């Protein structure tokens, strides 16, 4: 892949970030303009996300009108009291909304992590799984299914997946780091190698899975059908905290697009920044994959679409891609469960993502490899 290759849009983002670093009379005005754009886009996308969530709650074996869903949600809020049918409230709050909320949280996590990974590697083909996080989670989950393990603290399959993801990411980081430096190209290649190795491990466990094969396959294709409020309340704080940290580093991520030498000369502690971005993105991805299985292409597609709409500045791109990721996965999951037989949501995202990936291969500079 074209690691280190800078596109014109990335150069523009880096130049804007450089302008902000320099003390000049226009810096405050430029920063204020970026903030206004980020808030405007974020508010618009948040409203769109709420609309998609409400629309998704109307879809199911029992049809519930959009207005009834809105009333049920309002009635669930502490400062509202609205009369709603008890059956509709049970279906919406107890069955549909937990799944939809988890889809939104997972989509936000993957959209945000994908944005950071594409900026970190300066590569439009990067996504949250590029350093083996998703494959590591798959190894942990599949191992817990095929060889039932006694996971400490009752963490079960999700704990095994989360641990596997972090171990894989940390292993890739250790392999790629030498003398306190972590070259991005080495990190990328180490990630590819680890993914390949872990893929072989998964294949072996599939051969040994026996009657567990269906459960393993379903997990690997991505799923949200067992989602409950426990998964939402466990994952949401991790995603919010990780997003806040990444947003704080969004300007540094812009400057890194100039190249590590230039970023260092502009006062960025390059290696420390890279470690933070890598660690937090890995945790963000691990938290999402642990509760949803491997859902591909969200972290690849959404940042590209938003980059076309809002531009390459990560101070705007990161929050908008995060919200758009949530909306995209909610819509994909609604489509996955709207047919006569429910599909794993990973099939829907892949069906959309694979053609888009091929489009990128034709449009981006990676065709020069």
DSSP 132: S
Flag whether the pTM goes above 0.85.
yes
What tokens appear for 367 in the block? 């065709």
Calpha distance 173→167 (Å, rounded): 10
Residue 126 near residue 118 (C-beta atoms within 8 A): yes
Residues 6+ positions from 317 with CB-CB distance below 8 Å: 115, 250, 303, 306, 307, 310, 311
Calpha distance 35→329 (Å, rounded): 26
The reported pLDDT for the residue numbered 297 is 83
The reported pLDDT for the residue numbered 332 is 93
Report the C-alpha dihedral over residues 326, 329, 331, 334, rounded to 10 degrees.
-130
Annotated domain spans of the chain: 39-126+212-360
DSSP 95: I
C-alpha angle 315-353-127 in degrees, rounded to nearest 5 = 45
Helical pair 314-336 and 229-248, crossing angle rounded to 10 deg:
160
The reported pLDDT for the residue numbered 367 is 43
pLDDT in tens, the chain (369 residues): 444 444 555 555 555 555 555 556 677 777 788 889 999 999 999 999 999 999 999 998 888 898 899 999 988 888 778 888 889 899 999 999 999 999 999 999 999 999 999 988 887 778 878 888 889 999 988 888 888 766 666 667 888 889 899 999 999 999 999 888 888 889 889 998 999 999 999 999 988 888 888 888 888 888 888 788 999 999 999 999 999 999 999 999 999 888 888 888 888 888 899 999 999 999 999 999 989 988 888 888 899 889 888 988 999 999 999 999 999 999 999 999 887 888 888 889 888 877 877 776 676 554 433
Calpha distance 228→222 (Å, rounded): 16
C-alpha angle 289-295-297 in degrees, rounded to nearest 5 = 125
The reported pLDDT for the residue numbered 369 is 33
Calpha distance 367→369 (Å, rounded): 6
Q: What is the DSSP string of 187-221?
A: HHHHHHHHHHHHHHHHHHHHHT-GGGHHHHHHHHT
Beta bridge partners of 333: none
Instruction: State which H helix or E strand residue 314 sits in.
Output: helix 314-336
- CATH class in words for 39-126+212-360: mainly alpha
What tokens appear for 355 in the block? 């053609």
The reported pLDDT for the residue numbered 151 is 62
Calpha distance 324→317 (Å, rounded): 10
Helices (H), strands (E): how many in the chain?
16, 0
Calpha distance 226→211 (Å, rounded): 20
The reported pLDDT for the residue numbered 16 is 55
């Amino acid at each position: 892949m074209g690691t280190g290759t800078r596109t014109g849009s990335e150069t523009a983002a880096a130049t804007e970030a450089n302008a902000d670093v320099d003390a000049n009379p226009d810096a405050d005005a430029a920063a204020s303009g970026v903030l206004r754009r980020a808030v405007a886009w974020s508010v618009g996308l948040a409203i769109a996300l709420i609309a998609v969530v409400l629309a998704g709650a109307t879809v199911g074996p029992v049809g519930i009108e959009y207005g009834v869903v809105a009333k049920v949600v309002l009635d669930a809020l502490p400062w509202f009291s609205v009369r709603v049918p008890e059956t509709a409230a049970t279906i919406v709050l107890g069955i549909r909304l937990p799944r939809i909320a988890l889809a939104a949280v997972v989509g936000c996590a993957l959209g945000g992590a994908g944005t950071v990974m594409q900026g970190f590697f300066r590569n439009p083909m990067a996504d949250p799984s590029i350093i083996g996080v998703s494959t590591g989670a798959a190894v942990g989950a599949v191992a817990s299914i095929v060889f039932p393990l006694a996971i400490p603290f009752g963490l079960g399959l999700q704990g095994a997946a989360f641990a596997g993801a972090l171990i894989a990411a940390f292993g890739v980081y250790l392999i790629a780091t030498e003398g306190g430096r972590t070259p991005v190209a080495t990190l990328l290649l180490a990630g590819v190698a680890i993914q390949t190795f872990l893929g072989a491990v998964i294949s072996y466990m599939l051969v040994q899975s026996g009657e567990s094969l269906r459960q393993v396959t379903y997990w690997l294709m991505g799923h949200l059908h067992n989602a409950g409020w426990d998964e939402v309340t466990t994952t949401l704080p991790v995603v919010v905290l990780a997003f806040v940290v990444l947003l704080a580093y969004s300007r540094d991520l812009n400057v890194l697009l100039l190249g590590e030498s230039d970023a260092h000369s502009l006062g960025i502690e390059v290696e420390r920044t890279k470690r933070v971005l890598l660690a937090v993105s890995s945790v963000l991805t691990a938290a999402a994959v642990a509760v949803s299985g491997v859902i591909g292409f969200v972290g690849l597609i959404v940042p590209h679409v938003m980059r076309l709409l809002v531009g390459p500045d990560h101070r705007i791109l990161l929050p908008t891609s995060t919200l758009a990721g949530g909306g995209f996965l909610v819509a994909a999951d609604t489509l996955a469960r709207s047919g006569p037989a429910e599909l794993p949501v990973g099939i829907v995202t892949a069906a959309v993502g694979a053609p888009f990936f091929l489009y990128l291969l034709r449009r981006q500079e990676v065709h020069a490899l």
